[in-house]
Structure formats: structure tokens, C-alpha cells
Amino acid sequence: MEHFKTSADVLFILLGAIMILAMHAGFAFLELGTVRRKNQVNALVKILCDFSVSTLAYFFIGYGIAYGVHFFSGAETLMAKNGYDLVKFFFLLTFAAAIPAIVSGGIAERARFTPQLAATFLLVGFVYPFFEGIAWNQAFGIQGWLAATFGAEFHDFAGSVVVHAVGGWIGLAAVLMLGARRGRYHKDGGIAGVHPPSSIPFLALGAWILIVGWFGFNVMSAQTLEKISGLVAMNSLMAMVGGTLVALVMGRNDPGFVHNGPLAGLVAVCAGSDLMHPLGALVTGGVAGALFVVMFTITQNRWKIDDVLGVWPLHGLCGAWGGIAAGLFGTTALGGLGGVSFFSQLTGTLLGLAIAFAGGLLVYGGLKAAVGIRLDAEEEFEGADLTIHKVSASAERDTLW
């Protein structure tokens, strides 16, 4: 029976890893549908290559930093590990690889390709696993301090802060280091060029792939069959619906907002999805949908921060809200299961944001100084597809060019 239980858990977490792996296709098509046609191929290539580089960085460095587990032993010792240990690495890798996938959308259309791969290696090898270990590995010790100080550990069931907020705040640092796309804003601060999505159908396809995969992201975070919770699935559903409908209303039927609304809700519910009442999850998702619409508009139009896919509002801010919301709607007073503290959630969330933003500035600032991270004016005008990959998304366009 013990062997059967282990095998069942291996299959369970493997299916979760595959579902989250499929989410990377969602990241790719969401970016492809949002950027201009001359950058569509680059969006697809970046996500696949970033995942591959992330695998090496996490295998050789990041997993060891986060959990103290290394794969440098001989083949005999490695093969002695049961299948669960190995497939758990695959599962957690898919979370880690979401960091560069998130960042990719913010820096689209003007980032150089090879320096971005170097940034991916550094982020997944060092920056992300440092906070991952703090949040999810008891050996780091901060959880004990939070429990002693505020009465509860920092709780992030599926990564609102650990994955999404960290990715979003790293993305903000990268966008600030790169600067806006040429022709996006006038020197006097006005908006010079509006770049609407190149393909609403591809944008919608990316959103739907992410939505479906997210139920693996959240539900399979239980990591074993005996800990699986239907509450997590229900809360994910309710948060998705809340984010969608609020974004629909506040975004005035704009399809870009409509398809990012459910993602905002799902980002926010990750942390407390195992604790909240479904009504709390609905409110959490609705607030996230409103937060994305309002802050995306302010970021782009008032603050002139050219975050192409809005990764800072979507992941950075909604992820931070999710970490804090777990400390509100996870309490018994608001219908949750309890065992959380608002101040522990706030402290852990702020620590994650600080590490992410500082790490992003260090990585992208260092690469900017050392090798440069941005396409030159002519390359950006031609587009990343022709400049970097020597091909475009359509044969007709190749003929014209």
C-alpha cells in the first residue's frame, strides 16, 4: 500500500507539473497577441528558451539554495531517490520558470535576446530561490520568528507572493532599466503612439490556456493526494469569475481587460485558496480585477511606465494583494479556516517585494552596464523578429520586407 501511495503521489504531482508546463504556452500566446506583429516570433521563442535556461539554473543552483537539495551525486545515489523527489523538482521548476515568463511580457519589443537569457539564469538561479526558501523552506527560520511575533507563519499556498509578486516586481525593475519603447511617449510626457494588441484571438487563447493550467497550479500545490482540497478548486473558480466580471465593467468591455481580469483574480487567490470561504475568494478576485484595470491605466498613461503586458499591475500588485488578502479572508472572522495573521502576511509580502525589486535592479542594472540590454533604434524599428530571428510571423511580410 505504501508503494501504491507513493506512485499515486508521483502521478498526481507529475500531472500538476505538466499542467503548469502548459501554462508557459499561455504566457507565450498572451504576449504574442499583445505585441505588434513584428515581435510575435520573438515572444514565442523567448518563452521556450527561458524555460530551458531556467531548468539548468534551477537544477544546478536554485533548487539547492531554496531547499538544500543538490543533484551532484553519482548516478547510483541519484537513482536511489524515489520518483516523488525527482518529479517534485519538475513541479517546483515550473513555478520558478514562471518568473522570466512574467518578466518577458513587461520588457517585450525592445529587449536584447542573449542578455535576457543571462538575466533568466541569474533570476532563477539566485534571486527567486532565495525568497522561495524563506517562504517555503522551514530551515530559513523566518517562519518561526513570524509565528512567535504575530502568532502565525507566513502563508502562501500556491505562490501569490512567492511567484507572482516576485515576478511582477522583478519585471518592474527590468522595465525601468530598459525604458519605454521608442515612439511610445513624447519628450514632454504626452502619449505619442498607441500600440493595440496585434491579435485578440491569440491573446484570448493565451489567457484561456493560463486559466485552465491555473487549476493545476493551485490545486496540485497540495503536492500529495491526501492533501488535495476541493476548496482550492472552488476558490480558484470564484476568484477567476470575480476578476473577469469586475474587469469587464471597469474596463468598459475592452477585450484586453476582460481576458486579463481572470488572471488577476487567479494571481490574487493563490496564497489563501486553501483557507478562504468562496465568497472571500470572490471578493479577492474582484478587487484584483479592479486593481489591474486601474493600475494598468495609471502606469501606462500617467506614470509613463511602458510595461507592455502590464506585468507589474497584474502579477506584482495583484500578487501582493493576494498575500495580504490571505491574512484577511483566511481568518475565521471573515469565514476562513484561520491559522493566519494579517501582520505575518503583510511582513512576508513586503519582504518578498523588497527582495524581488532589489534583485531585479541588481541583475538588469548589472547587465545593462556590462553588455547592454536594449535593441538599438534601427533594430527596434525593424522588430525583434527580423533583427534577432531573421524571420517574421507571416510569409507575406517577409516578401514585403
Angle at 114 between CA 111 and CA 116, to 5 degrees: 50
Q: State pLDDT tens for residues 108-138.
A: 999 999 999 999 999 999 999 999 999 999 8
Packed helices 98-106 and 166-178: angle between N→C axes, nearest 10 degrees: 40
Residue 401 has pLDDT above 50, yes or no: no
Length of the chain, in residues: 401
- The tens digit of pLDDT for each residue in 250-276 reads 999 999 999 999 999 999 999 999 999
Q: At 399, is the pLDDT very low, low, confident or very high (cuts 50, 70, 90)?
A: very low
Task: Name the residue with higher pLDDT: 82 or 57.
Answer: 57
pLDDT for the residue numbered 79 = 57
Task: Give yes or no for residue 372 having a pLDDT over 50.
Answer: yes
Q: What is the pLDDT of residue 188?
A: 77
Question: Using one digit for the tens of pLDDT, what is the confidence trace for 6-33?
Answer: 889 999 999 999 999 999 999 999 999 9
- pLDDT digit string, tens, across residues 161-184: 999 999 999 999 999 999 999 989
- In this predicted model, what pLDDT tens digit does every residue of 291-322 receive, in sequence order? 999 999 999 999 999 999 999 999 999 999 99
**Which CATH code fits 2-187+197-400?**
1.10.3430.10
State the Rg of the chain over Cα.
Answer: 21
Neighbours of 111 (CB within 10 A): 25
pLDDT band at 140 (very low <50, low <70, confident <90, very high): confident
Whole-model pTM: value is: 0.96
d(CA 107, CA 61): 25
Q: Can you give the residue ranges of every domain in the chain?
A: 2-187+197-400
Residues 273/157, Cβ–Cβ less than 8 Å: yes
Distances from the Cα of 79 to the Cα of 71, 85, 147, angstroms: 10, 11, 38
CA–CA separation, 181 vs 336, rounded Å? 44
Q: Compute, in degrees rounded to 10, the torsion defined by CA atoms 333, 334, 340, 345.
A: -130
Exposed / middle / buried, residue 45 (Cβ in 10 Å: 0-12, 13-18, 19+): middle
How many other CB atoms sit within 10 Å of the CB of residue 395? 9
State how far the Cα of 262 lies from the Cα of 258, in Å rounded to an integer.
7
| pLDDT for res 400 | 40
Whole-number pLDDT of residue 83? 81
What confidence tier does 396 reach under pLDDT thresholds 50, 70, 90? low
Q: What is the pLDDT of residue 92?
A: 98
Residue 77 binned pLDDT confidence (cut-offs 50, 70, 90): low
Rounded to 5°, the CA angle 4-9-12 comes to: 125
* Local structure of residue 191 (DSSP, 8 states): B
The dihedral region occupied by 151, where left means phi > 0, alpha psi between -120 and 50, and beta the remainder, is: left
Burial of 338 (0-12, 13-18, 19+ CB in 10 A): exposed
Segment 86-90 shows an average pLDDT of 93
In this structure, the number of other CB atoms found within 10 A of the CB of residue 380 comes to: 19
Query: How far is the C-alpha of 179 from the C-alpha of 364, rounded, in Å?
Result: 12
- Please choose, from the candidates 401, 365, 395, 379, the residue with its C-alpha nearest in 3D space to the C-alpha of residue 113: 379
Question: Residue 224 has what DSSP assignment?
Answer: S
State the average pLDDT over residues 236-251: 98
Q: What is the pLDDT of residue 395?
A: 62
Percent residues over pLDDT 70 in the chain: 96
